[in-house]
């Protein structure tokens, strides 16, 4: 028979292992803190028990509304959650319902938006509908490189808020939200019990498998729903066929008219030209030089044959290479090459699968066209001055301090 201290030791060990996977730190009194130092969980029955952020903010005594509220039915366990895909649930009409109440559910979308297009407006509208008046947060990715991610996060989000003013408060600029895992872990820490993830139809299966696979390990939700924002058809005209790849191609071709058709009416001609120029600068396209890279590098979906030839020849995406999934933001090492896909493992030892047109060679701390990384451009700093000088072509700044003061 095990002693009380053996049970206690095993319980603490299980909780510690779970906390380690979630990057939580002990407060020394049975509680656990997240990476931001916030109290998010306690140890109960040998496992982590996450604290509901909304309840933690309230007083110990329930409000009148809470007292009058009827008892909630017993929630379904994760194992009892529907096994059908998000597409099947949406077909059944469940996509319009918010389980467990809007206060317990976060609706979110994670994407590159590089550059943002009129097609992204459809994604945001679908997210708003799924949120049913509850919390809605849109997280643009943090990646930046001259081929597939020409806009730095700050500039990208600035244009997004101009293009989609109705969602300005929902678009979140957070340096720590680099992947869908970061988003889900944070939501779990904040006490949300359910989460809706809104994606394009071509990415629904990928997000469904990935999000469900690590539920209960990286984060803890009663229900995860991956909802399609609608059909995506690369060959279609209009909103359904618009993509960031086509927009980047238009910039390479110097085709402003095609680029303009990819932006919503909320963005006037002046701002559209500014966005076109920003993408051009980010891609390092010079005035008299039409192309800076092969089309399969800039817009792989516009040149699948070129991408395929490079892959088969093993010029790209070799075993051991570090790549980033452009949809989820996950970064990992390639451990297996398939016919048209890759199996990768993150440094935390989490595995993910990616189609070759959805990955790129990972670039860590890319400084952008200015040579100064976005996080280092705080107003009033020397790095911000250097950034402004490089973007405006300023060679030097005169010292405005009165030089005669020194003589006194």
Instruction: Indicate whether 31 belongs to any domain.
Output: yes
What confidence tens digit (pLDDT) does each residue in 301-314 have? Answer: 778 899 999 999 99
Instruction: Indicate whether 33 belongs to any domain.
Output: yes
Report the range of poorest mean pLDDT among 25-29, 201-205, 396-400: 396-400
Give me the number of domains the chain comprises: 1
**For residue 170, which of 140, 143, 200, 197 has the smallest C-alpha distance?**
140
**Token pair 């020397």: residue:** 382
Instruction: Indicate whether 18 belongs to any domain.
Output: yes
Instruction: Indicate whether 24 belongs to any domain.
Output: yes
Dist CA 176 CA 119 (whole Å): 26
Main-chain phi, psi angles of 245, to 5 degrees: -60, -45
**Which residues make Cβ contacts (< 8 Å) with residue 339, sequence separation at least 6?**
none
Domain that holds residue 44: 4-51
Residue 180 — very low, low, confident or very high, per pLDDT cuts 50/70/90? Answer: very high
**Which residues make Cβ contacts (< 8 Å) with residue 113, sequence separation at least 6?**
120, 140, 141, 156, 160, 244
Instruction: Indicate whether 318 belongs to any domain.
Output: no
Instruction: Indicate whether 40 belongs to any domain.
Output: yes
Instruction: Indicate whether 29 belongs to any domain.
Output: yes
Q: What is the pTM of this model?
A: 0.66
Instruction: Indicate whether 368 belongs to any domain.
Output: no
Asked if residue 52 has pLDDT above 90, the reply is no
Per residue, what are the HEC states of 390-401?
HHHCCCCCCCCC
What confidence tens digit (pLDDT) does each residue in 11-31 have? Answer: 455 677 667 666 677 887 778
């Amino acid at each position: 028979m095990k002693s009380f201290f053996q049970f206690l030791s095993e319980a603490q060990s299980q909780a510690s292992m779970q906390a380690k996977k979630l990057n939580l730190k002990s407060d020394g009194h049975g509680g656990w803190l997240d990476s931001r130092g916030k109290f998010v969980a306690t140890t109960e029955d040998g496992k982590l028990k996450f604290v509901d952020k909304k309840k933690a903010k309230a007083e110990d005594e329930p409000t009148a509304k809470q007292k009058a509220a009827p008892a909630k039915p017993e929630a379904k366990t994760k194992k009892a959650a529907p096994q059908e895909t998000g597409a099947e649930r949406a077909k059944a009409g469940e996509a319009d319902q918010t389980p467990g109440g809007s206060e317990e559910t976060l609706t979110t979308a994670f994407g590159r938006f590089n550059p943002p297009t009129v097609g992204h407006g459809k994604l945001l509208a679908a997210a708003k509908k799924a949120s049913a008046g509850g919390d809605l947060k849109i997280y643009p990715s943090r990646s930046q490189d001259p081929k597939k991610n020409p806009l730095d996060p700050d500039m990208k989000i600035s244009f997004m808020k101009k293009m989609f003013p109705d969602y300005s408060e929902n678009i979140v600029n957070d340096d720590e939200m680099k992947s869908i895992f970061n988003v889900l872990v944070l939501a779990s820490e904040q006490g949300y019990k359910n989460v809706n993830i809104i994606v394009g139809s071509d990415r629904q299966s990928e997000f469904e498998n990935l999000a469900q696979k690590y539920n209960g390990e990286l984060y803890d939700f009663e229900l995860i729903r991956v909802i399609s924002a609608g059909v995506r058809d690369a060959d279609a005209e209009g909103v359904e066929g618009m993509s960031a790849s086509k927009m980047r191609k238009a910039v390479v071709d110097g085709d402003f008219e095609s680029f303009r058709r990819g932006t919503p009416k909320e963005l006037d001609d002046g701002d559209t030209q500014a966005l076109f120029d920003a993408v051009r600068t980010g891609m390092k396209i010079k005035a008299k030089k039409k192309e800076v890279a092969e089309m399969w590098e800039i817009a792989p979906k516009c040149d699948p044959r070129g991408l395929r030839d490079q892959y088969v020849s093993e010029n790209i995406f070799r075993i051991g290479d570090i790549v980033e999934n452009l949809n989820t933001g996950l970064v990992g090492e390639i451990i297996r090459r398939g016919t048209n896909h890759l199996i990768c493992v993150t440094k935390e030892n989490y595995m993910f699968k990616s189609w070759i047109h959805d990955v790129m060679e990972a670039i860590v701390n890319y400084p952008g066209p200015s040579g100064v990384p976005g996080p280092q451009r705080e107003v009033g700093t020397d790095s911000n001055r250097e950034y402004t000088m490089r973007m405006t072509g300023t060679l030097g700044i005169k010292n405005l301090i009165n030089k005669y003061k020194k003589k006194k």
